[in-house]
Amino acid sequence: MGMEQKTHFKVDKSKCISCGKCVNTCSGMVLSLGKEGCPQMRDFERFGWRGCWRCQHCLAVCPTGAISIFDKEPENSLPLPPSEMGGYMEQLVMSRRSCRRYLDKNVEPQTIDRILNAMQAAPTGGNSSSVEYTVIDDKNRVKEIWQLAYSKMESAARKHIYTSSFSDFYYDKMKQSEKTVRKDDLLFCGAPHLFIAHEKCSGKWAEDSKVNCNIATAYFELLANAFGLGTIIMSYPADVLIELAPEAKKMLHIPPDHYMKLIVGFGYPEIPYARGVQKDRKAKIHRYSEQERS
Ligand SMILES: Cc1cc2nc3c(=O)[nH]c(=O)nc-3n(C[C@H](O)[C@H](O)[C@H](O)COP(=O)(O)O)c2cc1C
């Protein structure tokens, strides 16, 4: 069987208007318009750069819903967001803030499921979709990781040994923060749940794998905030687990060759924000515009 047949690419000829949009958006360049003016897929060697990218752009772009692929029917796709979404998104991006104090309460599983379901759409280089997510969705399971991380960190700290980005000064500062901002938990900020994006990281695409993870982290963070949760992106606990507690990956069923650099803590905020902040970072935007020349 040809690989093309594995895509189950189908065109409803009664709906196709031969506009060619599918051909011009096909990431894998496996589509062309046939004699009757309808798209057809050529056979290919394998999925990815040598064939179909599994991106489903053909299904998504067809204005008349004539294309189905991978047995997905266009009518089952989510509609596009309304145009006023821009304003909401802008407000979300500008008002989300790191949350470092949480209620000692699990988030409803349906909310976590919804966020994770949407996460499938986070972009990955070459549409590899190879990022994996580890979610600790029960506060009691988080405690197991806390215990491991703290026992390693504290025994190293007694010898003035820290992770690469830390020192006596920073450790001291973080310890002080346990009295207020990171209530009793300098590492995980008492978050009842943790999210970790990780991916096998080796060879030609190793750098892309890291970027995929970081993009997934950002998507998760925004989605969680959109659902009213508090979040904190954290590198310090990840550093402790990677550098001082290598057994943590095994505990979390994360393969040893997977990149993981950031942990997102999330849950219901104990201290919700009342308004946004007013950052002023315009000085850091470098624009190459025509006006600048004059
Ligand atoms: C890569 C990265 C690593 C971070 N690591 C930590 C961390 O280990 N612990 C922590 O409390 N906050 C951490 N933060 C949160 C930042 O300190 C926070 O984003 C910054 O203070 C700005 O606050 P805002 O997110 O509310 O705008 C991290 C953020 C990023 C982007």
pLDDT of residue 289: 86
**194, pLDDT greater than 70:** yes
Q: Element (H or E) spanning 41, and its range?
A: strand 39-41
Give helix 85-95 / helix 206-226 axis angle, nearest 10°: 100
Mutation test residue for ligand 1: of 176, 214, 235, 271, the one with most atoms within 8 Å of CB: 235
Note whether 101 and 72 are same-domain residues.
no
Q: Residue 2: pLDDT above 90?
A: no
> Each residue of 24-47: b (16+ CB within 10 Å) or e?
eebebebbeeeeeebbebeebeee
**211-234 pLDDT tens trace:** 999 999 999 999 999 999 999 999
Instruction: Give a yes or no: residue 275 inside a domain.
Output: no
Check the CA dihedral 286-288-290-293 and report its sign: positive
Tell me, what's the pLDDT at 137? 93
Best mutation site among 234, 239, 240, 280 for ligand 1 pocket (most ligand atoms within 8 Å of CB)? 234
Q: Ligand 1 centre from 47 Cα, in Å?
A: 38
- Of the pLDDT bands very low, low, confident and very high (cuts 50, 70, 90), residue 92 is very high
Give 215 Cα–ligand 1 centroid separation in angstroms: 15
* Residue 235 CB less than 6 A away from ligand 1: yes
CATH code, domain carrying 151: 3.40.109.10
> Rounded to two decimals, what is the model's pTM?
0.93
Mean pLDDT value of segment 32-55: 97
Ligand 1 atom closest to 237 (CA): 8
Looking at the structure, do residues 170 and 260 belong to the same domain, yes or no?
A: yes
What CATH number is attached to the domain comprising 53?
3.30.70.20
Structure confidence at residue 119 as a pLDDT band (50, 70, 90):
very high
Same domain, yes or no: 176 and 59: no
Placement of tokens 């004699």 in the chain: 35
Q: Provide mean pLDDT across the span 124-134.
A: 95
Domain stop point among 44, 76, 108: 76
pLDDT tops 80 at residue 204: yes
The answer on 50 and 113 residing in a single domain is: no
Per the structure, the count of domains in the chain is 2
Could you tell me if residue 88 is inside a domain?
no
The mean pLDDT of the chain is 95
Domain span including residue 10: 3-76
Instruction: Mark whether 20 and 121 lie in a shared domain.
Output: no
Ligand 1 centre distance from Cα of residue 229 (Å) = 16
The residue among 281 and 93 whose pLDDT is bigger is: 93
For ligand 1, is residue 234 a contact (CB within 6 Å)? yes
Using pLDDT thresholds of 50, 70 and 90, give the confidence band for residue 195.
very high
Nearest to 119 by CA among 26, 237, 212, 235: 212
Atom 4 of ligand 1, residue of closest alpha carbon: 234
* Band (285; pLDDT cuts 50, 70, 90): confident
Q: Are 43 and 181 contained in the same domain?
A: no
Region 131-146 average pLDDT: 95
Pair 43, 166 in one domain: no
Q: Is 100 in the pocket of ligand 1 (CB under 6 A)?
A: yes
Residue 13 and residue 122 share a domain? no
Q: What is the pLDDT of residue 1?
A: 66
* C-alpha 74 to ligand 1 mean position (Å): 40
Residues 33 and 122 both lie in one domain: no
Q: Are residues 254 and 125 in the same domain?
A: yes
Residue 34 lies in a domain: yes
Which residues, at least 6 apart from 180, have a Cβ–Cβ distance to it below 8 Å? none
Same-domain pairing of 245 and 119: yes
| 131 Cβ inside 6 Å of ligand 1 | no
pLDDT band, very low/low/confident/very high, at 287 (cuts 50, 70, 90): confident
Cβ of 260 closer than 6 Å to ligand 1, yes or no, is: no
Q: What is the pLDDT of residues 144-185, one digit of tens each?
A: 999 999 999 999 999 999 999 999 999 999 999 999 999 999
Confidence grade of residue 294 (pLDDT, cut at 50, 70, 90):
low
**Considering only CA atoms, which residue is closest to atom 30 of ligand 1?**
233
Dist. CA 262 → ligand 1 center (Å): 10
Same domain, 119 and 249: yes
- What percent of the chain clears pLDDT 90, i.e. is strictly above it? 94
Question: Can you tell me the distance from the alpha carbon of 67 to that of 158, in angstroms, rounded to the nearest whole number?
Answer: 63
Q: Whose CA is nearest to atom 27 of ligand 1?
A: 97
